[in-house]
Structure 1
Amino acid sequence: MANRVKIISKETIRPSSPAEQHIRKFSFLDQLAVPNYIPLTFFYTADRSCQFSPADIILRLKKSLPDALTMFYPIAGRIRKGNRFIDCNDNGAEFIEARVHRQLRDVIENPDADELKEYLPVQPEDHHQQVDGALLLVQANLFDCGGIAMAVCLSHKVADGTSLSKFVQAWAAISRGEAAGVVAPNFHILAEQFPPIDLPEPHPSPSNVISGEKIVTRRFIYNEQKLASLKAEIATAEGSTVKNPSRVEAISASIWRHFIERHRRHGCTKVAAVHSVNLRARMADSPLQAFGNCYVLTPAYVTDGEHELHRLAELLRNAFKKIDGEYVGEIQRSGGGEYLTLRQRIVIMKKEGAAMCNFSSWCGFPVYEVDYGWGKPAWVCTTLLPFKNIVILMSRPEGRGIEAWVNMVEDDDGGDLKTLQA
């Protein structure tokens, strides 16, 4: 695969206008974020882009990115030592142009996790953000057939998946000449509502610790029929209190059950599911345009012998319900203490031998609406980092199904996990 992707050029793209402010403070949620890049790759087939030459495509992207960086000016800055702020110095983003000697349809129809990494501007094993490094890296991969794979990697210290989605949508709108309809995000409200705090360095993290074990990535597809079957199993089970499970609840419970069964055969009786929960809709002021990290990790625990699907769905729902406006207010009133206590509890469980299955749902991100001027993507995917027991849930192109991207230790590849596609 290395010979199929040829780097044509690398360039630093800077904002078209100077930054509005020179400092963007971190919230304590930004401070706690792991310094890796969030990767998203958008695949556009030749029938969507054939009216443009490769030169036209690159020119359009390069001309629109400076205006996008002006609107999202912290992205063009650099993180400074101290883990408290971004220096909005207009140093810019890294833009890479590449040619791929491959048919894009083959990639979409038979995706390979290792091959997908080749389209990224930074490799997963090098994904930790460096001080003074670019916060945004883009690689435009132009295929011989005329297809395009747009890979975007944004530092997690700056933003969560919701914010990355907003940036890509805005850049695409500017590219297709619809900048007037773009709403600028609020870069400061999160630091105002969750002010930075003094943290021990390095501070303990409940998940996203790079594993020294061999990690493999698998994609499991849940079509509409499979989802309906899972939901029915949960809703009709004797004693079930979850009569209307969501897609995320049903799939998370199913994957969690398989992890429980696998770990128990290896002697581990404590397996927790830890979900990332977006706080934007749960905050009193509803800062839906807030840009940055705005999520918490909420754990659900099982006791020995408990792994019925409906019971796991109930535990997940109860964990989600706890993250309400009152809980967010308690985090704010405690100066972050409540959230740190919860994180520490998860860390202690790991130290005591508990296994963690970490979930993040990106199903609500409108990634299939990202049109740079040559149509909407045929497929959008992520490429997981070398962390174990991580699950990312993403929407399918048709909008009804879900793809689960699962990272696991190589020895765990197989057995029950393979039945997720059955």
Structure 2
Amino acid sequence: MARLDIEIETRKMLKPSAPTPDNLRTLKLSLFDQLARSAYVAVLFNYLPNSTSSYNHDELEKSLAETLTKFYPFAGRFGKDDPFSIDCNDEGVEYVQTKVNAHDLAKFLSKAAADNNNNNIESSLLHLLTIIDHQPSSPSSPLLGVQVNVFNNGGISIGIQISHIVADAFTLATFVNEWAHTNMPQDNDDDNNYLPSFGQLLSLFPARVIQLPSFDPNTLTSTCTTNVTKRFVFDALEIENLKKKTIKEDSTMMRQPTRLVVVMSLLWKVLAHISSDKNNGNSRDSFFGFVMCLRGRIPSLERVVGTFSIPEIANTEGGEYELNDFVKLIGNRIGETCAAIGKASKSVDDISSLTINNQIKILEKILQRDKIDIYGTTSWCKYPWYEADFGWGKPFWVSPVSVGIHELIILMDTNMEME
């Protein structure tokens, strides 16, 4: 697709509306932050024109500054002397407002998603993001970047990039919804007094000095200019049919797998088949990595912010496998990990050890990636992406965008109202 004609109207470092108190000026990272990938996570919130309410740039900027007083670490920088800390110094977030000289946002996105050349959504959606020109973990790098793109017909696309070390999908969704609520005109005094606690995980799971297998981080970050991002939509009815089919065809399954397990298994099966074709029909050992959110699995930590998940990996040893086999491999792995978390839930040391050991296992596999196949996925399902109403309606499409990470699958719910 042709590059969008985008005119930058505002570019600044936006600071919180009130200074961060002295007692909150330094935030130590938790173990989970420490183990998170050093990369930016990016997502686009796309809004159709609204005839009943209009976009107000000044109000949007003001509400973001107010939200940053609650999510104050996002306006800070990584510590210069302590790599396991954030200096909450209110230096600000990178904020860009643009005018897009294209009339119809929905038409543009539809064309991007249906590009007949290579179905490459990536080259189109990147235009709507502010590219933070820094190393993700550098002390000079902003932790958050926001770009507000306004199309000629009033459509709005808000692009957000945030360091994965300070925020996972839950935290990002929480932040965006809090910003939207702050920007929403209030008809009553029912204000949202949600105050995130950034020190809760630290107090239980402090960062540690860990001896991890060393590897070149560039193996997880692509510098190739020919990367392609594709979007696939799985029909809800077809997913349900797959769930029923797996248990019908395998009497050893005690219950139907979840929709997430079925979709991950299907993807693994297809990728393993592609690999076999590339190797003249010879199947290599393959490993399927995924992330399990720990919120809700440990009492009193349902809404903690930061990064709070444990990595997991399932594997095959060559040979031919059916969908049911992949379902059992992933399902059993999840079940075993849930059982281990349940046993360890009263001991933070056991949870920490389990997380570190799993991280080591995955890194060891990455070091062997020339001999084995490794696939990775993460789930953004069940988070309130489509609830982020800034006052001009809910988004009609929310899309993650890769900013350098390759060979990664992100699973999201579709907008149910659009189906």
TM-score range, shorter chain: 0.7 to 0.9
Q: Which amino acid aligns with 1:191?
A: L
In 2: Cα distance, 1:253 partner to 1:202 partner? 28
8 Å contact from structure 1 (residues 5, 100) kept in 2: yes
Q: Which residue of 2 aligns with 1:419?
A: none
Q: Which moved more, 1:58-67 or 1:192-201?
A: 192-201
Q: Which amino acid aligns with 2:92?
A: G
Instruction: Give TM-score, length-normalised by structure 1.
Output: 0.86
Q: Which amino acid aligns with 2:293?
A: N
In 1: Cα distance, 2:351 partner to 2:388 partner? 37
Alpha-carbon RMSD: 2.5
Aligned pairs for 1:15-414 (under 5 A) are 15-20=16-21, 21-46=24-49, 48=50, 51-52=53-54, 56-81=55-80, 82-102=82-102, 103-110=104-111, 111=113, 112-122=121-131, 128-177=136-185, 180-199=191-210, 204=215, 209-211=220-222, 214-241=226-253, 243-267=255-279, 269-283=284-298, 285-324=299-338, 325-326=341-342, 329=345, 332-334=348-350, 336-352=352-368, 353-398=371-416
Tell me the CA shift for residue 72 of structure 1.
1.0
Distance change >3 Å, CA 365–CA 297, structure 1 → 2: same
**Helix, strand or coil for the counterpart of 2:268?**
helix
Distance change >3 Å, CA 315–CA 343, structure 1 → 2: same
Instruction: Give TM-score, length-normalised by structure 2.
Output: 0.87
Q: Which moved more, 1:227-236 or 1:64-73?
A: 227-236
8 Å contact from structure 2 (residues 16, 65) kept in 1: yes
Tell me the CA shift for residue 277 of structure 1.
0.7
Distance change >3 Å, CA 202–CA 147, structure 1 → 2: farther
8 Å contact from structure 2 (residues 135, 141) kept in 1: no
In 2: Cα distance, 1:98 partner to 1:58 partner? 11
Tell me the CA shift for residue 330 of structure 1.
8.6
In 2: Cα distance, 1:168 partner to 1:239 partner? 44
In 1: Cα distance, 2:391 partner to 2:158 partner? 13
Tell me the CA shift for residue 257 of structure 1.
0.3
Q: Per-residue CA shift, 1:329-377, capped at 9, x if unaligned?
A: 4983158343222222222223332221111111111110000111101
Q: Which amino acid aligns with 1:128?
A: P
Distance change >3 Å, CA 23–CA 126, structure 1 → 2: closer
In 2: Cα distance, 1:238 partner to 1:289 partner? 37
Tell me the CA shift for residue 37 of structure 1.
1.3
Q: How many residue pairs get matched?
A: 395
Q: Which residue of 2 aligns with 1:13?
A: 14
In 1: Cα distance, 2:131 partner to 2:151 partner? 19
Q: Which amino acid aligns with 1:297?
A: P
Q: Which amino acid aligns with 2:30?
A: S
In 2: Cα distance, 1:206 partner to 1:227 partner? 35
Distance change >3 Å, CA 385–CA 235, structure 1 → 2: farther
Tell me the CA shift for residue 127 of structure 1.
7.1
**Helix, strand or coil for the counterpart of 2:416?**
coil
8 Å contact from structure 1 (residues 234, 240) kept in 2: no
Distance change >3 Å, CA 239–CA 69, structure 1 → 2: same
User: Could you list the runs of 5+ residues in structure 1 that have no partner in the other structure?
Assistant: 402-422
Q: Per-residue CA shift, 1:64-93, capped at 9, x if unaligned?
A: 011100011111111113321111111111
**Helix, strand or coil for the counterpart of 2:394?**
coil
**Helix, strand or coil for the counterpart of 1:7?**
strand
Q: Which amino acid aligns with 2:128?
A: Y
Distance change >3 Å, CA 378–CA 235, structure 1 → 2: same
Q: Which amino acid aligns with 1:162?
A: F
8 Å contact from structure 1 (residues 368, 376) kept in 2: yes
8 Å contact from structure 1 (residues 206, 344) kept in 2: no
Q: Which moved more, 1:206-215 or 1:334-343?
A: 206-215
Q: Which moved more, 1:59-68 or 1:229-238?
A: 229-238
Q: Which moved more, 1:344-353 or 1:62-71?
A: 344-353
In 2: Cα distance, 1:91 partner to 1:201 partner? 32
In 2: Cα distance, 1:246 partner to 1:206 partner? 33
Q: Which amino acid aligns with 1:282?
A: R
User: Could you list the runs of 5+ residues in structure 2 that have no partner in the other structure?
Assistant: 114-120
Tell me the CA shift for residue 196 of structure 1.
0.9
Distance change >3 Å, CA 333–CA 40, structure 1 → 2: same
Q: Which residue of 1 aligns with 2:116?
A: none
**Helix, strand or coil for the counterpart of 1:301?**
strand
In 2: Cα distance, 1:57 partner to 1:127 partner? 32
8 Å contact from structure 2 (residues 4, 127) kept in 1: no
